[in-house]
Amino acid sequence: MLNAKNFITDNKGIGGTIRNENKDFYVEEVPLQLPTGNGPNTWIQIEKEGRTTLDVVLDMAKYLHISRKRTGFAGMKDRSAITRQWLCISNITPEELPDFEEVLHNVKVLDIKQNQKKLRMGQLKGNKFKIHIKNTNNPVEDKDIAEDVLESLKVTGVPNFYGFQRFGEVRSTTHLVGKCLVEGDIKKAVDTYIGNPNKNEHNQPFEARQLYDEGKLQESYDLMPKSMRYEKSMLKELILSKEKHGEITEKDYIRAIESLPKPLKRMFVNAYESYLFNKVVNERSKIGINKYLPGDIIINEEERWVHEIDEDTIEDDMNKFTLNPTGPLYGSKVPYAEGKQGEIEKRIIKEENITKESFKCPKTPKLGSHGIRRALRFKIEDTSVTKTCDGIDVEFFIPRGCYATAVLREIMKKNI
C-alpha cells in the first residue's frame, strides 16, 4: 500500500502471499437493496474473473450499441480476483438482452431482475471477502495469530488505507497522472498514462509505452494490445491531431484525456487524493485512530459531520463505532481539522507544494475535486480463519469503499 508504513497491531506477521490465483481472492458485494422484479431497468448479477467492472460494462454497452451512460454499478471490482456484483442497464427488458455468457469473456450471469431504480455508484453496504493467504511462515501458529489480529482490529478499527487497486496494481501511476492534473501539467499527465513503461509489465505493453516515449506514436498504437483500450483511445486522439495540425497542442492533450470514460478520468485526481490520504492515516495511526483528539472532525455512521462533541460520551461512541475521526481527501473546499490532526493535514499538503486551490484543476475543471472528509478507520465484522494445507483462509465483511488489503497487511505485516 502506498504510504502505509505503520502497523497498529503488535503481533508478529505470518508473511505469505495472496493472489497466486484469481480464485484465492473472492469478493461478493452486499447491496443496499435487491431488485424488486418490476420496473424499466434491468439488474444483472454477475460473477467475473480476471476482468475489471468497467471492462465488462463497456463490452455490454458495445454489444448492445448503447451509450455506456445507460449502464451502472455500485462498486469497481478487482481484475485479479473472482468477484460477484450487480450491474444495471437502464430502459431495457430482460428479453432484449443477449446471452451475456456467450458474448462476454470470463463472465457468468447468476441472476437477472427488473427494478424501478437504476443502480448507482456507492449503493452497497459493503463487501464480503474470502482470501487465501499462501506460503505463510509457521502453519502451526498462523491461524492463532490471524485470529488475535482480527480480534484486536475489532476493538481499534482498521486503518482506512487505500489499496494498490486505487493506484494500479502492476503499474501504480493513476495517482501520478492525478498529481499532474492538479499541478496543471496536462502533457505530463498524458505522457505518464500512455508512456512511462514499468518493468513488471508484459513485453508488448512495455515496448508500446517505450515507443510512445520515443515519439513514435503510430508504431506505439499499432503495437498496443486490445487490453490497452484506454491508452489506445487517448493515443488515437493525439495521432489525429498531429496529422491535422502538424503538432500536438495542450488542447489536444486535454481532448485525449476527455476521450476516456467518465469513471476512469475522474479516478485520476481521486487517486492522488487517496495517495495523500494514506499519508494522513499513516501519521495519525502513530498516535491512535480509535480515540478522540481535541480539534478532530468527527463523522457519524451516516458519514455526516458531528458539529457538537459531547466529551462525556465520545469515548463510548468511538468504542461502538457510532462516531469516527476523519482525515481529508484533499480538495478545493475540504476543511482542515484543528489540533494535532490539523497539523498533520497542513504539513502533508505543504510538502506536496500545492494548495487546496490547486484541486480546482483550472485546465481540466470537470476533473477537479472539492474534497471530502473520510473516516480514518473502519469496522470489521463476521471474521473467521481456517487453516489450510499451505496457509490460511480469512473471511470478513467490511463497509463499502474500504480495502481488504488494509486488513491483510496487519495479519501478514507486509505491504501488499
What residues are annotated to the active site? 78
Number of H helices, E strands in the chain: 13, 14
Alpha-carbon dihedral 331, 336, 342, 347, rounded to 10 degrees: 30
Nearest to 181 by CA among 357, 352, 2, 358: 358
User: How are the residues of the chain apportioned to helix, strand and coil, as percentages rounded to the nearest 5?
Assistant: 40, 20, 40
Rounded CA-CA distance 377/251 in Å is 41
Rounded CA-CA distance 326/159 in Å is 11
SS3 374: strand
> Are 159 and 8 in contact, with CB atoms under 8 Å apart?
yes
Amino acid at the residue 281: V
For cell 457468468, the residue is: 108
Burial of 156-167, coded b for 16+ CB within 10 Å and e otherwise, reads bbbbbbbbbbbb
Rounded CA-CA distance 235/302 in Å is 42
Amino acid at the residue 79: R
> Are 150 and 383 in contact, with CB atoms under 8 Å apart?
yes
> Are 294 and 339 in contact, with CB atoms under 8 Å apart?
yes
Rounded CA-CA distance 303/358 in Å is 25
What H or E segment, with its residue span, contains residue 333? none
What secondary structure, in 3-state letters, does 273-309 show? HHHHHHHHHHHHHCCCCCCCCCCCCEEECCCCEECCC
